[in-house]
A and B are shown apart, each in its own frame.
Chain A
Amino acid sequence: MPERFFKGIRATALAAAAGIALALAVAGADDARAEYGDVVINNFSDAAGMRPVVFPHWFHRIRFRCKVCHADLGFKFQAGGNQINMVKIIDGEFCGACHNGEIAWSVENCNLCHSAKPGTPTQVHESTVQRLVAPGGVQPAPARK
């Protein structure tokens, strides 16, 4: 009888520990996320052997209102939908309107933008749809060719 009693206690303790570990894992999984509105752009980067670009909306909206990029600079509201390449940027289009060494740091700082994990698909990170409809897997926005 005592042997069975201790077996029961041990099993109970193990199960409680497993339950707590599972709850922590669920809570922890919720934490593994980039900042809301971060955009990953991987139209050309992977193919060119560069890390994909991370565009942090939060950083830019502290400094610029939406209209600066989405009206004056012509950024479409679609991750990967702008076909941005380095030639356009050096010509002063898109990111290059500010990232020219005058308003913000210049294009020779490749790594500051090209900083995502290689292979990360083009996406708006943490969008409601991504969170609710496809919580397990990222739904990348289609890159237009």
Chain B
Amino acid sequence: MGRASFSVGSRVWLFALSGMLCLLWVSQVFPQERKWLPLAADGVHDPRSPALKQLQEPREALSRLAPDPHVGNQVRWVKALELGQINPRTNIFPETKVSVLDQDIIMSNTGSRPKVRFPHKQHSLWLDCAICHEQLFKSKAGGNNISMLSILEGQQCGLCHGAVAFPLTECDRCHSVPHGVPIPDAIIGK
């Protein structure tokens, strides 16, 4: 008697678990297309705010841009810029200088992870040299003690990556160069 009720109980849990696993499997195998929450349901905007009738919905703007299905705004922002899908202003003051630097820095002191390729071009398309140099990073390859600990604390690369640029869970986008492979035209840092 006791044994029978035990087996019913364990079967119940087994079915509950398999129900969950099935659903999780389905959601992994058939990834959903990009979805953006309406402002009224995003957990931050006040659904009673009169602004919601006027503000642009993320879906309306972001669904037209180069897709990045998993992270951030689900948009590859650099690609959208390079493809000309967006053309953000470089300055509002006429005297502001705009300079794009096409130079890669390779950081090789990365332990067992692949080396980091830092592309100046993609960064200087958006940013001004003075934002990073000389306070955040010295302009000397190998002259900066960059660590994942400070990055995860929101310093160094983590000032933007993990807050507004692609998040820190995307390891391979930075750690993209295998050890032992020579890189032409790149400056080798630490």
Residues of A at under 8 Å CB distance from B? 4, 7-8, 11-12, 14-20, 22-24, 27, 31-38, 40, 51, 54, 56-59, 61-68, 70-72, 77, 97-98, 103, 111-112, 114-118, 120, 124-125, 127-129, 131-132
Contacts and interface: CB of A to CB of B under 8 A. Distances in A.
A63 to B, nearest CB: 5
Given A27-B23, A120-B44, 12 more contacts: A19-B18, A20-B20, A32-B41, A36-B167, A38-B44, A40-B44, A51-B49, A57-B164, A62-B61, A68-B91, A111-B49, A115-B49
Given A58-B73, A117-B45, A16 B19 contact: yes
Interface of B: 4, 8, 11-13, 15-20, 23-24, 27, 35-37, 41-46, 49-52, 54-56, 58, 61-62, 71-73, 75, 77, 86, 88-93, 96, 125-128, 130-131, 152-154, 159-164, 167-169
Contacts of A51: 46, 49
B174 to A, nearest CB: 13
Contact of A33 (B37, B49, B61, B96): B37
Contacts of B11: 8, 12
**Interface of chain A, helix or strand or loop or mixed?**
helix
Contacts, number: 181
A120 B43 CA distance: 10
Contact of A66 (B23, B42, B43, B131): B131
Contact of A62 (B15, B41, B88, B167): B88
Contacts of B52: 115
B61 A116 contact: no
A65 B92 CA distance: 10
A19 B15 contact: yes
